[in-house]
Amino acid sequence: MDDRRLAAIPQRLRASWLRSERYGVPEDEVRPVFTGTVDTSSLFYECGHEVLRGLHATLSNEPISLMITDSDGLVLTRLCTDPAIVRSLDRVYLAPGFYFAETNAGTNGLGLALADRTATLVRADEHYCTGLRGYTCAAVPVVDPVSGALAGSVNLTTWSEQSSELLLALAQAAAGTTAALMLARASGRKARPAPRGEVFRVYADRVQPPKLSTAWTSAVATAAEAMLEGRVVAVTGETGAGKTALATLARRSVRPRERLLNARPPAPDDVGSWLRLWTPELGKADTCVVVSDVDALPAWAASSLAPLLSGFVLTATEALPEALAPLVDVVVEAPALRLRPDDILPLAHYFAHRDRGRDITFTSAAVRALLSYEWPDNTRQLRQVVRAAAARSDVVDVQHLPAEVFTSVGHRLSRLQVLERDEIVRCLTEPGATIAQASAELGIGRATIYRKMAQYGIKADQLRG
């Protein structure tokens, strides 16, 4: 690789070039991986394809190819009516069914956008492979507005000699519209809060943590043993499973007087200032940092953390970043809440006491509902449910719990269905309520209520004491 040419390109692109070289991507040939199947059943594809069709109609006379990829860089669809650019893109395999992640296609717009999770423009000679240097590519990642997971990317590609000033703005607008459409069709669920990159000190809890199941305590003990031996630990697990709590408890058991910080990932554009904020703390005596959700960090940021790894503990929901995975000595999984049902009630009392400052009582019906629910968002969801319920009463009964706790539906509900389900549960959880009373209040027949209860998976035996 020409060092002078490498030094002339921006830092993010330079880091991507170095990664491409490390992956063994050839500079003189585009050789992306091909798959025979493309999944077009996702909500992201449905919304993204609809948005790009509208944009394509507007740009039909322009030599621009509009593409959607999944989170792994697999091209799902390509919209373009310019014969010359279509033939050219086919020659470099930038077509549906081919993976254009950095790992197999080197530095390119969509690959870098996915790696760094931020809007990216790669012009002409900034591409790693010579075969791609005839193009300018603008790509923007799309994050699922509900789950916060990386859904894929929107990519616009044109000839390198074309003006690129508006290309990235168009890609950003298309990605933003796609995310907004996904939220509108996501059953009325609230958007996940944007990452804020908080860095704060972890203090000992004023409420004594409850004694939990063997599955949890064994995981804490495994992490603590590895930390005691000076090994680098990563805690993995589902969203909301308590990964940071597990890492904190393990560290506290090893070094109870240590200054412990938690760094949560920021939005991609704020990563630079976020790193500058807390990395100087690593050099201070008796200080440890728990870096949460490192799988959400841009690739360049993960690479920046690698030389400092001995000073902190990691958590991740998905796979560890490529730059960090080889440096981790021990991976400990935080068990999902549904796999340790004995912890649900102790945690419910703990969360209620922590928020209200005193003991809160749960009726037998409320306990039955809490224990029967699968808690798809794990401990985080339990904490939110208990906090809201305890704020309403010192004795939590079924009418203080949200409708979701009494239902089990394996598909998305529309906004109207969510309202209908919640109203049925509200009527049925009122003290002394019967099907006949709920029928009269809602103005629908009893047979209809039974049918709706079956449709929404409402568990009648948990609705009353």
Residues 129 and 95 grouped into a single domain: yes
Residues 20 and 163 grouped into a single domain: yes
Q: What is the pLDDT of residue 34?
A: 92
Q: Which of 199, 181, 200 is nearest to 191 (CA)?
A: 181
Is 225 domain-assigned? Answer: yes
Residues 260 and 229 grouped into a single domain: yes
Residues 112 and 29 grouped into a single domain: yes
**209: which DSSP letter?**
P
Contact 63, 82 (CB under 8 A): yes
Contact 461, 408 (CB under 8 A): no
Residue 191 CA to residue 186 CA, distance in Å, equals 9
Q: What is the pLDDT of residue 157?
A: 97
Residues of the chain with pLDDT under 50: none
pTM: 0.79
Residues 290 and 343 grouped into a single domain: no
Residues 285 and 255 grouped into a single domain: yes
H or E stretch at 381: helix 378-390
What is the phi-psi region of residue 110: left when phi exceeds 0, alpha when psi lies from -120 to 50, beta otherwise? alpha
Residue 327: count other Cβ atoms within 10 Å of its Cβ: 15
Q: What is the pLDDT of residue 161?
A: 86
Residue 370 CA to residue 372 CA, distance in Å, equals 6
Contact 77, 45 (CB under 8 A): yes
Q: What is the pLDDT of residue 385?
A: 95
Burial of 5 (0-12, 13-18, 19+ CB in 10 A): exposed
Q: Which of 245, 251, 199 is nearest to 383 (CA)?
A: 245
Which stretches of 185-310 are DSSP H helices?
A: 214-228, 243-254, 271-278, 299-305
Residues 173 and 205 grouped into a single domain: no
Q: What is the pLDDT of residue 10?
A: 83
Tell me the CB-side half-sphere exposure of residue 434, using CA atoms within 13 A: 3
Q: What is the DSSP string of 167-208?
A: HHHHHHHHHHHHHHHHHHTSTTPPPPPPPB--EEEPPPPSSP
The token duo for 85 is 């650019």
Burial of 110 (0-12, 13-18, 19+ CB in 10 A): buried
Q: What is the pLDDT of residue 187?
A: 65
Amino acid identity of 464?
Answer: R
Could you tell me how many helices (H) and strands (E) the chain has, helices first?
17, 13
Residues 155 and 235 grouped into a single domain: no
Q: Looking at 152, 184, 216, which one is the last position of a domain?
A: 184
Residues 325 and 364 grouped into a single domain: no
Q: Rounded to whole angstroms, what are the CA distances from 454 to 14, 200, 447?
A: 57, 46, 11
Residues 93 and 61 grouped into a single domain: yes
Residues 398 and 427 grouped into a single domain: yes
Residues 330 and 344 grouped into a single domain: no
Contact 408, 374 (CB under 8 A): yes
Q: What is the pLDDT of residue 426?
A: 84
Q: Rounded to whole angstroms, what are the CA distances from 173 to 47, 176, 178, 212?
A: 13, 5, 9, 48
Q: What is the pLDDT of residue 308?
A: 86
Which residues form the domain of 125? 3-184
